[in-house]
Amino acid sequence: MKLVRVCFEDHTGEERICIHTLELHPAQIERFRALGMIELEGDQISLNDLRRIRKTLRLRRSLGVTLTGAAVILELLEHIEDLEDELRSLRKGRVND
């Protein structure tokens, strides 16, 4: 038997996935939600939130940090990415002037 992941599109066009298709215990999903790492919409999360969960689990596995520690690290990494994007945009604007 082959597992098929079903995605849905919400009103914004963002793809969402049913949490019941994930290989996570419901308590883990609730912990991610309580930490503010994901937003549940019924029994669905966005694919972006799913990526965040996967990154967090990789951080836990590779660094041996707690879930809370991994959440903080992920938030900082995302903030760095945002700042790098902004810096690239500013540099590009300065070159075009």
Residue 48 CA to residue 1 CA, distance in Å, equals 27
The whole-model pTM stands at 0.71
Residue with tokens 């996570």: 24
pLDDT of residue 3: 42
**Residue 2 pLDDT greater than 80, yes or no:** no
Q: Report the chain's C-alpha Rg in angstroms.
A: 17
3-class SS of residue 9? strand
**Residue 4 pLDDT greater than 60, yes or no:** no
Which domains occur in the chain, in start order?
7-96 (1.10.1660.10)
